[in-house]
Chains A and B, each alone.
Chain A
Amino acid sequence: MKDFSNRYIMVFSVVMVVSVAILLSLTALLLQPRQEKNVEVEKKIQILSSMNVSSDRSNAVELYDRHIIESFVINTEGNRVEGVDAFTVTLRAEQRKPLAEQSLPMFIAVADNGDTLHIIPLEGKGLWGPIWGYVSLKKDLSTIAGVTFDHKGETPGLGAEINTTPFESQFHDKTIFENGNFVSVKVVKGGARPGNPHEVDAISGGTITSNGLQAMVHDGLIKYEKYLSQNRK
């Protein structure tokens, strides 16, 4: 290998760093609109999937516009907050604020059979990173019509199973209120008791993710307790 002068090494490094920086920023800038669009469509697919409407990248936007009739933001007192777009609220940022100042998004949807559903977004912590999901509640605001969960980087085959149908479908027809008291849905290690309306099976080998999911469902929904109690029919 040739010996290079210090000046050459300095110039080489500067040129390399600057050109790499330009290349990467250009790519990021050019691809950003597409990436943001993907994230938006993904969110719509997940909201739809929580109300048991399956969609893909091509029809998600259209189906979303058809099914979601209203979206708004409430506070923990159950009152509407004006001037905030529910779709763009990032829960992670909200969770850092004091409880009274948090914006709680709510999506009202009409299912194919004409039922009105309330969809609530959730966000929590798994083993390796964030997990999130959407819960859709039937008209009684207690019975779960469907859920969808997703994660950033849980272990494949273990914690990552939370976004699979076998796990998610367990939540169908579970109830989050018992005699008017909020009880949430528990994720039980070793198996839920058959017929218990507030329990689902945990994922074997995915205990920390399961616990995180249970905490996410509980902590997320309890903020809506007042609204749900007031509006129950």
Chain B
Amino acid sequence: MEKVEKEPLLSAKNIKLLKNPLGQDNPITVQVLGICSALAVTVKMKPAIVMAISVMVVLAVSNVVIAALRKSIPGRIRIIVQLVVIATMVILVDQFLKAFAFDVSKQLSVFVGLIITNCIIMGRLEAFAMANKPWPSFLDGLGNAWGYGWILIAVSFFREFLGTGSIMGFPVMEKLGVYNFGYEDNGMMILPPMALITVGIIIWVQRARNKSLIETK
């Protein structure tokens, strides 16, 4: 397939690839993918941010690799090939973190390995990278990782703030002195079910504002 005319790197179509997953095509709130890790790493903001960045690297690079190989990957083993690419990327990220950012790798610990099982990544490889060129795939990876990441960070903000009274580990509630007025942290916010409810509330707000997301019966 020869290119006839050169498309600008950030054409309207490509910008859409970046922007849509943030809102109306969000992997978590609209496609409801990657929920498992959204529950696991959102108790505190720091791990959530690092997780978002790691997923971005893995998703963007895997997308590019799969898109570059898409014409030579046999259809019958494409899922295995995708898994191998993702797993390789995750191990590389993990190895590099251990060598160059040891403290970050300590914080993420097991969650880096769990990126392999993040449904968003395989979903994007299968749905987008297998059928598109590397550059749009790269943008699609970035966009979806951001869409995933900002939900993760938003959920972790509420859970950390309401559950432990701090933001990024800084004890805001204590500094404000609200404990003196009988305020208490809501311990339930740190438990996994509250992550699901927080995501649910975000979905509710999003659908209330954007009626086109509501399914017609």
Contacts and interface: CB of A to CB of B under 8 A. Distances in A.
A3 B73 CA distance: 10
A129 B41 CA distance: 17
Given A24-B88, A205-B190, A12 B102 contact: no
Nearest to B191: A205
Interface in A1-58: 1-4, 8-9, 12-13, 16-17, 20, 23-24, 27-28, 31, 34-35, 38-39, 42, 57
A9 B76 contact: yes
Interface residues of A, number: 32
A156 B191 contact: no
Nearest to B98: A35
B75 A155 contact: no
Given A20-B84, A20-B88, A38-B99, A4 B190 contact: no
Contacts of B80: 13
Interface in B66-86: 71-77, 80-81, 84
A35 B99 contact: yes
Contacts, number: 73
Contacts of A191: none
Nearest to A156: B43
Interface in A143-192: 152-153, 155-158
B33 interface: no
B88 A4 contact: no
Contacts of A34: 99-100
Given A16-B81, A20-B84, A128-B110, A156 B91 contact: no
Nearest to B48: A156
A9 B74 contact: yes
Given A2-B71, A35-B98, 8 more contacts: A9-B76, A12-B73, A17-B84, A24-B91, A31-B98, A35-B95, A42-B106, A156-B43
7 closest A-B pairs by beta carbon, nearest first, are: A157-B43, A4-B74, A31-B99, A34-B99, A38-B102, A1-B75, A156-B43
15 contacts: A1-B75, A4-B76, A9-B76, A13-B80, A16-B81, A16-B84, A20-B88, A23-B88, A27-B96, A34-B100, A38-B99, A39-B102, A152-B109, A157-B163, A158-B190
